[in-house]
Amino acid sequence: MKQLLSGNEAIALGAYHSGMGFATAYPGTPSTEILQNISSMEGVYSEWSINEKVALEVGIGAAYAGIRTLVTMKHVGLNVAADPFFALATTGTNAGIIVVSCDDPGEHSSQGEQDNRHFAKFAKVPMIEPTDSQEAYELMDWAFKISEEFDTPVLFRSTTRISHCKSVVNVNRERPSNVSDPKFLRSSAKYVMVPSNARVRRIAMEERIAKLREYVENFPLNEMIMGDRKLGVISSGIAYQNAREVFNGASFLKLVTTYPIPEKLIRKFASEVEKVIVIEELDPHLEEEIRLLGIDVSGKDFIPIIGELNPEIVEAGAIKSGLIPTPPRSNTTEVPAVQIPPRRPQLCAGCPHVGPEFILRKIAFDSSVKPSLTPREMTEKEMVITSDIGCYTLGVYEPLGALDTCVCMGASIGVGLGMSKAGIPNKGVAVLGDSTFMHSGVTGLIDVVYKQGNTTVLILDNRTTAMTGHQGHPGTGVSVTGTKGPEVNLEKLCEGIGIKDITVISAFDLETVESTIRRCVETDEPSVIIARGPCALREKIKGTPFEIDADSCIQCHECLDVGCPAICITGEDINIDPAVCVGPACGVCAQVCPSEAIVEMKR
Ligand SMILES: Cc1ncc(C[n+]2csc(CCOP(=O)(O)OP(=O)(O)O)c2C)c(N)n1
């Protein structure tokens, strides 16, 4: 049966048809849809975890217990899960376990760019990479088999274009009827990594990689496609598709087992062509591995090491290096490429983060100092706003411009604590969302208590993981299937840690937001402010929109500082788009207006 599937859908279906019985994840673009697709599959236990480390740990438990398991995350998620990942590489497994890392070349929606192929070599585990949805589907079965045959986790790497592009998949398998029953085989030598056992496993890891080197030589989905023998292109993943478009007619070696690489196959291919090049996205992973074989190869001298590739970029590199001729200029009038006006990412109309970030800008930044891109000294009365990762990070952009740092998920509290312990004279507020607080913010807060810090933590609690598409988390109790379980109570959690000063406020009540922050930063105790308000997009909030009363408007433009997408300026006139404004449930602009010119629209 043929189906049009994205890479993520194909990964989910491929795993299902391979007898996967357990799946865990923490959301993160471009990986999120894998678990979302699995969640409706019968016979599979699936769950969002509190973070990627726990997702992998829970997955390890299931695989040890004899159930084929899939654990998915975005590239930076594997940094969080690196500790159990390396440990799993050491212990090996019982049932097959696949760790899917979806990388984001070009940082479409990530805090950093990194090439997770390094993790395979680093942890000494096999890696597989599909070049399209068909392979994503098929390779799942191979990955589970490799995992079980070689007693190893398999790193399955996808990238944004593989995960999100749709292509036709020949769905040629069905879910086996005899999915294995759970069974843990007791063996402390294998599963208890005290040094004496770990040293034995360490030897097993090297033996495993040696066997895998042999195994990949005959892997059926690595493919030599011979054309013109003047040029041989070795490639993998989405870069293979780009290369096929550019080097029309050349010979290709498509690799899906990208660690370890099939040495003999590569030698054979290289011996059959005059020149070998590697086309790969990000780091020269394949290029370096191939060069180590003593094969003369080039690639990164003409293909960028940064960002996502596309056929145009590959073509430009190939022309520059003389591999292909410059295409003749056509006589026909060229149709100019469609220019899409650039749009800065911004918070939605009615977003509960807007008000608190507006207040932070107002009280933490000296309004007489112009925003600048170069570092500047802070005045003493200014405050440092250490932020985290979530929708609220968009508050870094003008006109809000309310944030000073954003390091990685959960870092806002630790970074703020570090600054105050280092002795900077400025007060500070650490800002993070409810999902991020659960993910890894809470450990920072425990450290604040332990170190007797006085950090003020502002949790922007919109009761969802909004940035990645409204997933539940322990604070909401909502599972991946939408069922409701017990909620971890934020206030009580903070209280249990030892925070005495906890204030819950409405995120839309600007006066209270301001007075609470001002009070908290002045105390010597650590404090937590929970600014609560529903995500307008998720709750589809829409009330009678506001409008500008032209007679009262003094054209001070202060409402523009809120950065609401519903408010626009034409000439000197301010207008509120009634289709976008959510109305009184928000009302932030009306609170900001000094002349009470923003009023509910009269019908
Ligand atoms: C290690 C890591 N995992 C996952 C992500 C993807 N991600 C970005 S923000 C975010 C959580 C946002 O939720 P929350 O803190 O509640 O803020 P909101 O977006 O709801 O405002 C996630 C999961 C990431 N950037 N880094």
Same domain membership, residue 507 and residue 550: no
Q: How far is the CA of 110 from the centre of ligand 1 (A)?
A: 10
Mutation choice for ligand 1 from 439, 462, 539, CB with most ligand atoms inside 8 A: 439
Same domain membership, residue 453 and residue 397: yes
Report which residue type is found at 325: P
Of 274, 296, 320, the domain-final residue: 320
Q: Check residue 33 and give its pLDDT.
A: 98
- 52 pLDDT exceeds 90? yes
Q: How far is the CA of 85 from the centre of ligand 1 (A)?
A: 21
Sheet of strand 501-506: strand arrangement: 405-406, 384-387, 428-433, 456-461, 527-532, 501-506
- 332 pLDDT exceeds 80? no
403-444 per-position pLDDT tens digit: 999 999 999 999 999 999 999 999 999 999 999 999 999 999
Q: Check residue 527 and give its pLDDT.
A: 98
Same domain membership, residue 508 and residue 386: yes
Same domain membership, residue 274 and residue 193: no
Tell me, yes or no, whether 327 lies in a domain. no
Q: Average pLDDT of the chain?
A: 96
> Rounded CA gap, 526 and 466, in Å?
27
Q: Check residue 365 and give its pLDDT.
A: 96
CATH number of 9's domain: 3.40.50.970
CATH number of 310's domain: 3.40.50.920
Q: Check residue 333 and give its pLDDT.
A: 65
- 328 pLDDT exceeds 90? no
Characterize the bridge pairing of strands 297-298 and 22-25. Answer: unpaired
Same domain membership, residue 196 and residue 60: yes
Question: Which residue CA neighbors atom 9 of ligand 1 most closely?
Answer: 390
Atom of ligand 1 nearest to the CA of 353: 21
Of 193, 217, 241, the domain-final residue: 217
Same domain membership, residue 527 and residue 497: yes
Q: How far is the CA of 563 from the centre of ligand 1 (A)?
A: 22
Q: Check residue 334 and give its pLDDT.
A: 66
Tell me, yes or no, whether 329 lies in a domain. no
Same domain membership, residue 554 and residue 527: no
> Among candidates 432, 372, 399, 357, which has minimal Cα distance to 565?
399
Q: How far is the CA of 468 from the centre of ligand 1 (A)?
A: 6
Q: What number is the average pLDDT over the span 176-187?
A: 92
Same domain membership, residue 167 and residue 128: yes
546-587 per-position pLDDT tens digit: 999 999 999 999 999 999 999 999 888 899 999 999 999 999
Tell me, yes or no, whether 330 lies in a domain. no
Q: How far is the CA of 471 from the centre of ligand 1 (A)?
A: 10
Same domain membership, residue 175 and residue 43: yes
Chain centre distance of CA 454? 31
Q: Check residue 372 and give its pLDDT.
A: 83
Q: How far is the CA of 488 from the centre of ligand 1 (A)?
A: 18
| Site residues for ligand 1, CB cut-off 6 Å | 26-28, 74, 76-77, 80, 111, 389-392, 409, 432-436, 462, 464-468
Q: Check residue 314 and give its pLDDT.
A: 97
441-469 per-position pLDDT tens digit: 999 999 999 999 999 999 999 999 999 99
Return the higher-pLDDT residue of 342 and 223.
223
Mutation choice for ligand 1 from 465, 473, 476, 530, CB with most ligand atoms inside 8 A: 465
Both tokens assigned to 498: 């030892």
Q: How far is the CA of 487 from the centre of ligand 1 (A)?
A: 19
- 364 pLDDT exceeds 90? yes
Q: How far is the CA of 436 from the centre of ligand 1 (A)?
A: 6
Same domain membership, residue 246 and residue 165: no
Q: Check residue 12 and give its pLDDT.
A: 98
> Among candidates 66, 61, 70, 55, which has minimal Cα distance to 23?
70
Same domain membership, residue 439 and residue 377: yes
Strand boundaries in 466-558, DSSP class E: 501-506, 527-532, 546-548
**327 confidence band (pLDDT: 50, 70, 90):** confident
Same domain membership, residue 591 and residue 499: no
464-515 per-position pLDDT tens digit: 999 999 999 999 999 999 999 999 999 999 999 999 999 999 999 999 999 9
**Domain range for 267:** 223-320
CB 518 within 8 A of CB 549: no
Atom of ligand 1 nearest to the CA of 79: 1
Q: Is the pTM of this model over 0.85?
A: yes
Atom of ligand 1 nearest to the CA of 466: 20
Domains contained in the chain, number: 4
Atom of ligand 1 nearest to the CA of 434: 16
Q: Check residue 362 and give its pLDDT.
A: 97
